[in-house]
Chains A and B, each alone.
Chain A
Amino acid sequence: MSASVLYDHPGPRARIRNRVLSVVFGLLLVAGLYGIYRAFDSTQQWTWQKWQPFFETVTVNGQTANFWTDYAWPGLLGTLQAAATAMLLALAFGLVFSVARLSEHRWIRVPAGVVVEFFRAVPVLLMIFFLSFGGFWVFGTLIPPFWSVVIGLTLYNGSVLAEAFRAGIRAVPRGQSEAAYSLGLTKGQVMRMILIPQAARSMLPVIVSQLVVVLKDTALGYIVSYPELMLEGSKGYAVFTNAVPTFMVLALIYIVINGLLTLVAHLLERRANRLGVTTPATKAAAATTTTGLSTGGGA
């Protein structure tokens, strides 16, 4: 149902009323934004000195630094590296565990289910702390922050993806696997050649939106000193003493990247709908998992 069904196509009176309401709420909104502007202004957050680092190289206390080349770019690389590694590992983890949970053997299915449920319920930060601070005691070697973050993200997002894939595989119409079995394909062949390719296509939008969750969660690296965008940015504002402007710019960078990813997810979804790779069942599966997915982000 589209929102417009909630109210009639506006007639002359409703148009006037909507215009009046628009103006009233518009003024309130502007007043609110102005209030925020003033609050920041009264503490000198808009001064050129605080925003200059985003436009040119500046020298502070004899130290010459450029926000973009010295902080944002290396940080962004760290963020993208961690996100890409974690996503690839999470895809593999998700694939293995979704198939394991669909196994006919109880001794595979049940442990796989326990693992997936466990990692979905434990906060990512808890796992990262365990690896970072307890890694030495458990594995006899210090785990670098990069791997704490990547492993933590992999275990959580892999478990979420495992559930999404499982729903996707189960949503492939039964006739597909029945036809494959009647052609004499083995269980492994049916899974590999028939079910997973079809499930993967309908799950593609879910995978891309999970990428947003992974990308945002790499910011947890800040807490264990993994040099990603958030940490590098904070090193930047320590030099430039411009915390508030830096937070705004960092948020903008995240919003642009995630906005692009969300756009790709929507385009893939539309393409999937057009090509008819989704059936109502796969769509329901994708929908139930997406709501869990897009909110399940640790950060």
Chain B
Amino acid sequence: MDVFLDPANRQAYLEGFLTILKLTGASALLALLLGVLLAACRVSPVPVLRALGAGWVHLFRNTPLTLIILFCFFGLYSAVGVEFSEDIHVNNYWLAVTGLSAYTAAFVCEAIRSGINTVPVGQAEAARALGLSFSQNLRLIILPQALRSVVAPLGSILIALTKNATIAGVIGVAEASSAMKALIESNGDQTIAIFAVFALTFVALLVPVGYAFSALANRLVVRR
């Protein structure tokens, strides 16, 4: 374990996980917003919007995240010149967030859509009988019930996102898996200890999240 006695190594480890959390936080927020919008598109009465939602989901759900994040760097940044910041580290961070959000939004959209499917038909019918419009119906009646039933799937999406954030390393974001790789390369004799520390940190971060979300899901479930 002496590899972690060196302050520089401890710093690399801490920064790696801090970057994972930063990537996850920003992407989770953006993906949630975008995902809800896309879900609304997918159930809307306007065919063009339905097609947009369906297209987004099929495009991003079937493409490897590695490809998406590489495209953000080599396509959006290198070829097209999309630049978030002069600072290469900040820029790579936002490029990774772009890829992660676009990818995760597809899953959020599908989770919410299946949540909408769990709301009994009677709810929407009653709302319509009261004269509510599509957007009132969706906003006031359907989504509040649907969102409660998608807490558990959203939890697994958040967990997957946290793990997927490691792929940001492929465009040079200094996240945990790159930090682990660097530490193993310079301290090969302590490989097992290094892997154990990094893997157990992920376990310690994610297992409680899983339990918290299933507890929350149980509390929020709409009893029928």
A contacts, CB < 8 Å to B: 1-3, 5-8, 10, 14, 18, 21-22, 25-26, 29, 39-40, 43, 45, 117-118, 121-127, 129-130, 133-134, 136-138, 212, 216-220, 222-223, 230, 234, 243-244, 247, 250-251, 254-255, 258-259, 262, 287-288, 291-292, 294-299
Contacts and interface: CB of A to CB of B under 8 A. Distances in A.
B9 interface: no
Contacts of A138: 191-192
A36 B61 CA distance: 20
A122 to B, nearest CB: 5
A255 B62 contact: yes
Contact of B121 (A5, A123, A216, A259): A5
A250 B71 CA distance: 11
5 contacts: A133-B184, A133-B191, A134-B191, A295-B107, A297-B160
A6 B142 contact: yes
A277 to B, nearest CB: 22
Nearest to A25: B48
B124 interface: yes
A222 B125 CA distance: 51
B180 A126 contact: yes
Given A8-B128, A126-B176, A258-B62, A223 B170 contact: yes
Interface string B167-200: 1011000001100110011001101101100110
A1 B120 contact: yes
B91 interface: no
A126 B167 contact: no
B30 interface: no
Closest 10 CB pairs of A and B: A219-B64, A134-B191, A258-B62, A123-B163, A291-B153, A3-B43, A219-B66, A299-B65, A137-B188, A216-B64
Contact of A126 (B116, B142, B166): B166
A130 B190 CA distance: 11
A295 B162 CA distance: 12
B67 A230 contact: yes
B1 interface: no
B63 A126 contact: no
A18 B45 contact: yes
A136 B156 CA distance: 34
Given A29-B48, A254-B63, A121 B124 contact: no
Given A21-B46, A230-B70, A297-B65, A43 B207 contact: no
B188 A136 contact: yes
B111 A129 contact: no
A22 B48 contact: yes
B84 interface: no
Contact of A117 (B75, B124, B176, B207): B207
Contacts of A21: 45-46, 48
A244 B142 contact: no
A141 B79 CA distance: 40
A130 B202 contact: no
Given A6-B137, A123-B202, A134-B184, A299 B79 contact: no
A26 B48 CA distance: 6
B163 A243 contact: no
